[in-house]
Amino acid sequence: MHPLNFLLTRTSKFGKKTQKTLSLAPNAVSSASQKFDKKASQIHGLHVSRTNKNAFAISLIEPVIFETDEADQVAQIIEAWRELKLGQIFYDDEILTVQGEEPPQTPKIAQTQPISQQTSQQNAPLTVQKIQPQSPPLNHGNANPLAMHHLSKLPRFPKPPNSAEKLMKPQNFELVASVGKGSFGQVFLVRRVDDNRFFAMKVLKKRAVIDRKQLNHLRAEHTILQSVTHPYCVKLHHSFQTRTRLFFILDFALGGEMFHHLKKQGQFPEILSIFYLAEAVLAFEYLHEFDIVFRDTKPENLLLDGYGHVVLTDFGLAKCGVSADSTDSIGYSTKTFCGTPDYLSAEIVASVAHGKAVDVWSVGALLYEMLVGQAPFSYGNGAGTAPNRSELYRRILRGNVIFPAHVSEPARQLILACMQRRPKDRPTMAELRDFELFQGVNWEKLARREVPPPQKIKIEENCIKAVEGRLAQNSGDSIYKYIMPDNLVAHFDPRFTQEPPTLAPSTAQDGVTAEEDKNFREFNWTSPDAFRQ
């Protein structure tokens, strides 16, 4: 659209005429006579009067830029700004682009029309003469906050329900068995003494969280776990703390890690792989609807419950507020280099901004590993071996996915579609449903957990009842008359289950200061339905 140029004539009471020029373009407003030249991103708006029909004013924006090391803080401010209704929120890559960087392309949308190009002759020494369109005098880009900026794809954030009144303490739980250990935490099977129900307890040291700068990640994980309600995502029931530790009480998945079963079987048959993958896709689709990116898909983070259904767990690397599907799509993306090397997408390895498409890549890698028994870019190195890190990253960026002969054509098509190197070329989670590999899946029944798993896991019925809180609900009744603790952890790694279920002793080095401890105030919470069966 060409600029609209106006010649404004003003006659004084003494009959003297003065003329001023005004040029209105989609991306700028300028007046050579006034030495006025402003980009649209600097314009607040046009002010007119109901009483003085012969005047107008152009108001300007004087931006004050704030910078922070934490993108999460910016996202939180956006959410607070919206909730407090402080005004519109604009994407403005021009104002905020770091010097030397090219701003991302912003889709153009329809321009607003000038308020009026007519002039009132009543009283009026002011006349407006419209000049023929000319080429724009300056190139200012497209950043008009009122007409040009898209307001779509603002990030959504989880909104946890309020805590129930009854908060827990460590003494409300009995340590039954050790089932896992991480770099700064432990995982136990525990019994809630009030009602004999069994859970998983994740224990983290506050000192390690602070020293490793994991507080923001932990806050995001806690918020997501509080908010997620999906049949294929793990549920948080309680969180509480001591001066040195944090405790998360989660669903206990009797079937253990998918990795344990995959390692034992070598590879899964296609029908079982399709079933597990379809349930995982439903979980990811749900998360993506709420702008949550998981970023750590692997067989170790997919548990199996007592019936053999998938349970997505470990949201430690998950990110809230990621509304962009891919690197170059509209919305908020993130740039943290994180994840498990074999499952890293090309854009993460390339250290560029990424969106929800990273989870789509890892879904393809997950299907490959279930069918083949090795990760895509480790296949061909021999059983139990993997390329070194630099070679692995080279393959992720430039190598081809090699398939053994037994992988079907529909499976290959889905894997290759998910692992396209350009994120925008990958399907979304919802679009995966239409692939030939899933043609026999009844998605509605699957979402209601009405499709039985093709492979059953050997688990005693009383163990399932104990985990669901349906066995010996009276705290005075000894539940161990009905079940053996070893049977509850039969599908977990013996390296952990054979260790005594004891918390690592706290030392003076594990302590945090009173000021540091204020960072953990939010980690006292009980789900409103924590005591429902």
Binding site, annotated residues for ATP: 202
Do 246 and 332 form a contact (C-beta atoms < 8 A)? no
How are beta strands 310-312 and 185-192 bridged, if at all? unpaired
Per the listing, tokens 């329809």 go with 110
Cβ atoms of 371 and 336 within 8 Å: the answer is no
Q: Is 448 exposed, middle or buried (0-12, 13-18, 19+ CB in 10 A)?
A: exposed
Residue 156 C-alpha from the chain's centroid: 9
Cα–Cα distances (Å) from 451 to 25, 128, 320, 410, 508, in that order, read 59, 73, 30, 21, 52
CA distance 78 to 47: 28
Q: Can you tell me which residue has the tokens 């010996």?
A: 472
Tokens representing 384 are 């139990």
296 among known catalytic residues: yes
Indicate the angle between helix axes 357-372 and 270-289, nearest 10 degrees.
170
Smallest Cα–Cα separation from 222: which of 211, 209, 212, 231? 209
Catalytic residue, chosen from 251, 291, 296, 305, is: 296
Per the annotation, binding residues are: 202
Q: How many CB atoms lie within 10 A of CB 488?
A: 25
Query: Residue 29: beta bridge partners?
Result: 24, 38
Nearest CA among 159, 167, 133, 134 for reference residue 226: 159
410 vs 8, 212, 399, CA distance in Å? 68, 43, 21
Query: Using H for helix, E for strand and C for coil, what is the string for 283-347?
Result: HHHHHHHCCCECCCCCHHHEEECCCCCEEECCCCCCECCCCCCCCCCCCCCECCCCCCHHHCCHH
Angle between helices 71-84 and 215-227 (to 10 degrees): 50
Q: Which value, to the nearest 10 degrees, does the dihedral of the CA atoms of residues 359, 360, 366, 371 take?
A: 170
> In angstroms, how far is CA 320 from the centroid of its own chain?
4
Edge-first strand order for the sheet with 236-241 is: 173-181, 185-192, 197-205, 245-250, 236-241, 525-526
Residue positions annotated with a catalytic role: 296
